Amino acid sequence: MGTRWSLACVLPGGVTIERIAAGVQAALDRVVAQMSNWEADSDLSRFNRAPAGSAVTLPGECLHVLETGLAIARATRGAFDPTLGALVDLWGFGPAPAPAERPSEDMIAAALTHSGWERLTIDRAASSAVQPGGISLDFSGIAKGFGVDLAADWLKRSGICHFLIEVGGELRGEGVKPDGSPWWVEIESPPGLALEQLRIALHGLAIATSGDYRRFSDRDGRRLPHSLDPRTGRPIVNGVASVSVVHPSCTAADAFATALTVLGPGQGMAFATRLDLAAVIVTRNEADGTWEDFSPALKAMLD
C-alpha cells in the first residue's frame, strides 16, 4: 500500500509477537493482492482489463469492499466513487506515468466516460461484478481502511482482544491497555496549522483521515490535492484541508472521510450530521484563515 503499519497489543501467554506480526502482514498482503492498481495480476486489475459485458468473479473480500463503496457512493450521491481509475491516472495519482501537462477539457471528459458507479452490476450469488466496458476500479479511498479491519479481525480470531493497529494513519482500537486505560489517539490535523490537539479513545472504534497534505502534485504553481471530485473529474477546490471520521468500521471511516472531503465544509457537515457520523472538517482559505467544524456526534465523544 506504499505505507507502514504498526501494532500495540497485549499478548496472551504462549503467543509470540513474530507470529502476530506475520499474521497482520499476511492480511495486508491479501488486500494488496486483490485490490492494488499497482499489481498487474491483482483481482482489481483483472476486472479493469475485462471485456465489456463480462462477469468477473471476485474474491469475497474484494466484492465486499466494492459493495461497501457502491453503498457509500449511493448515500453521498456520487461524492465517493470507486470507479475513478481513469481519472486517477489522468491526474498522475495512479500507477500510470503522470502527464507532463495539465489535462485538457477533452481528456477529462473522456476519462469521465470511463467512470460511473451507477454503471456497475453485482451478482452476489455468483460472487461477480459485470464490467460494463472501460470502467477502471480504484479503491485508494477505501482499501487501506479495509486493511485495518481485516488485520483487526484476524487479531481477534487469534485471541488478541486488546490492541491498537495503525496502517498509514488509519487506526482501530479494541479493548484496553494493561493498566485498564483506553487506547488514546490524537486526531490528525494538517501540519503547520495552529489547532488545538484533540484526543479520542478508540474502544471498538476506528478513525480515518483524508488530507490535502498526504498526496498532491504541483501544477502551474498550484498544489493539486489527490482527492478528485467524481462529479467534475477534477481535484477539489473547496478549501478542505483534512477530514477525520470516527466509526466502528475503518472501511466505512476511510470512505466517508474521502466523501466529506469532496462534499466540502457545508454539504459535508450537513451530510455527517444527517447520518450521525462523528467527523471533523478542517478548512482553510486566504480570506478567513483556518477553522474546524465538528459534527454533533463527534462533539458528544469529546465532551
- Looking at residue 290, its pLDDT comes to 83
Instruction: With a cut of 80, say whether residue 97 has pLDDT above it.
Output: no
- Looking at residue 288, its pLDDT comes to 65
- Looking at residue 223, its pLDDT comes to 54
Closest CA to 216 of 185, 240, 184, 246: 240
Please give the model's pTM, rounded to 2 decimal places. Answer: 0.92
Instruction: With a cut of 80, say whether residue 239 has pLDDT above it.
Output: yes
Tell me the pLDDT band of 99, cut-offs 50, 70 and 90: confident
* 3-state DSSP percent of the chain in helix, strand and coil, to 5: 35, 25, 40
- Secondary structure class of 162 (helix, strand, coil): coil
Report how many domains make up the chain: 2
- Dig out the grid coordinates for 96 from the structure: 500510470
Verify that 111 and 163 share a domain, yes or no: no
Instruction: With a cut of 90, say whether residue 135 has pLDDT above it.
Output: yes
Would you say residue 20 lies in a domain?
A: no
pLDDT tens digits for range 40-53 = 999 999 999 999 99
Name the amino acid, one letter, at 295: S
Closest CA to 137 of 233, 45, 213, 221: 45
Estimate the crossing angle of helix 60-75 against helix 143-157, to 10 degrees.
Answer: 130
Would you say residue 22 lies in a domain?
A: no
pLDDT tens digits for range 260-286 = 999 999 999 999 999 999 999 999 876
Mean pLDDT along residues 92-102: 79
Verify that 167 and 123 share a domain, yes or no: no
Verify that 114 and 181 share a domain, yes or no: no
Judged on CB neighbours under 10 Å (0-12, 13-18, 19+), 54 is middle
Domain span at residue 162 reads: 143-302
Verify that 156 and 279 share a domain, yes or no: yes
Verify that 81 and 217 share a domain, yes or no: no
Enclosing H/E stretch for 222: strand 222-225
